[in-house]
Structure 1
Amino acid sequence: MKRMLAGALVALSLAAPAFAAQTLVPAKSQIGFAFKQMGVGVDGNFKTFAAQVAFDPAKPEATQATFTVDLASIDVGGPDGNAEAKKKAWFDVATHPKATFTAKSVKALGGGKFEARGPLTIKGTSRDVVAQFTAKPVGNDLQLDGGFPLKRLQYKLGDGAWADTETVADDVQVKFRFTLAGKPGQ
């Protein structure tokens, strides 16, 4: 019985596609965002994030990817804004320290462009997003550049007095560059 079970496990492992996860290179990667506050453009970023990725541009449908952002690492350009963004009305990092995105599907759009779909969870709220990105080799790495729009109020970012979209716009553009070392299957 043990031999049959071992044989079945070996057969299953050989039949399943073998994708080795690539390694995110933090020093060559970034997650940023842009929005308007009182009509003036503001850019920010998150300094700490992680990813588990297996992405092959030749087989995008086999992609496995999860990204996690440390929300306390937010930088909107100054200590006062950074402290405010961590409070309950915004990211509430004491209760919800992380944001996550998991790619549920990835497809090629042609010309080195791709589209990833999946849930983005911020502050306990999950919504499906569609991120478009490009993939290009850079030396031995693979560089993914892209972004997606989101509505901050759908995630309860800016509760109470901050819900006024005349003060802080509802539209936020998220932009990213992920540099991955290694190749799937290696």
Structure 2
Amino acid sequence: MTNAKWNLDVTHSSVDFSVKHMMFATVKGGFQSFEANIEANPTDLTTASISFSVDLSSVDTRNEDRDNHLRSADFFDVENHPKMTFTATNIEKIDDNEYNVTGDLSLHGETKSETFVVAFEGTGVDPWGNEKAGFSVDGKIKRSDYGLTWNAPLEAGGVLVGDQIKISLQLQAAKEA
């Protein structure tokens, strides 16, 4: 199979994150608006072309005050940096259905090389005859690498917001006819 264009099915996909809060609890959130450009053979991603964009103003942690704080200059500063983007630069097969996908992640005016583990979950045909492919993506970034350093010290020691952000995507894409 050769590379084909795949259109992200955003209604069956998610972009989520989690971060330590107060050094011992985990807060989760996600983004409601994102898009991707994918040209790939889903059974062999090593020759794929992948780019991804997230609208940072679409952050949703199920708490309006926290979401507004994340949109502010203390964190994402969406007025000046509305998008987070990722463009794959190297894809290495590490297992039958797993890949290390390395690329340029741009966030808050900084661009760094990051690697995510991408698992090909399979393909199938939906009830309307569309070929679909599923992928899961996992990785970690340090928010301080991107100038996201706002924090508050805790009385007992430590800080309010952890530096490591866990990222998890569940993606479904439809092969372009």
Range of TM-score over shorter length: 0.7 to 0.9
For 2:71, the equivalent position in structure 1 comes to 86
User: Aligned-pair distance for 1:146?
Assistant: 1.8
Provide TM-score, normalisation by structure 2. 0.87
Q: Could you tell me which amino acid in structure 2 is paired with residue 27 of structure 1?
A: T
Quote the Cα distance in structure 2 between the aligned partners of 1:58 and 1:150.
Answer: 27
CA RMSD of aligned residues (A): 1.7
Greater Cα shift, 27-36 or 174-183 = 174-183
Q: Which SS does the other structure have where 1:84 is aligned? A: helix
Partner SS for 1:127: strand
Deviation above 6 Å: which 4+ runs of structure 1? Answer: none
SS state at 2:122 partner: strand
Shift of 1:19: 3.8
* Cα distance change of structure 1 residues 133 and 163 upon mapping to structure 2, 3 Å threshold: farther
Residue 165 of structure 2 corresponds to residue 172 of structure 1: yes
Unaligned runs of 5+ in 2: 126-131
Do the aligned partners of residues 163 and 154 (structure 1) sit closer, same or farther apart at CA in structure 2, a change above 3 Å counting?
farther
Distance apart, 1:138 and its partner CA:
4.0
More strand by share: 2
The SS at the match of 2:68 is: helix
Q: Which runs of 5+ in 1 are unaligned?
A: 1-17
Q: Which SS does the other structure have where 1:118 is aligned?
A: strand
Q: Is 1:118 matched up with 2:103?
A: yes
Cα distance in 2, alignment partners of residues 147 and 71 from structure 1 = 19
Partner residue, 1:71: 56
Partners of 1:28 and 1:74 lie apart in 2 by 17
Asked whether the equivalents of residues 35 and 52 of structure 2 are also in contact (C-alpha less than 8 Å), the reply is: yes
CA distance in 2, matches of 1:72, 1:21: 27
The partner residue of 2:18 within 34, 38, 48 is 34
Aligned equivalents of 1:19 and 1:175: distance in 2?
A: 25
Distance in 2, matches of 1:138 and 1:55, equals 13
CA distance in 1, matches of 2:173, 2:19: 27
User: Are the structure 2 counterparts of residues 150 and 163 from structure 1 closer, same or farther at C-alpha, using a change threshold of 3 Å?
Assistant: farther
Counterpart contact for 1:92–1:123, Cα < 8 Å: yes
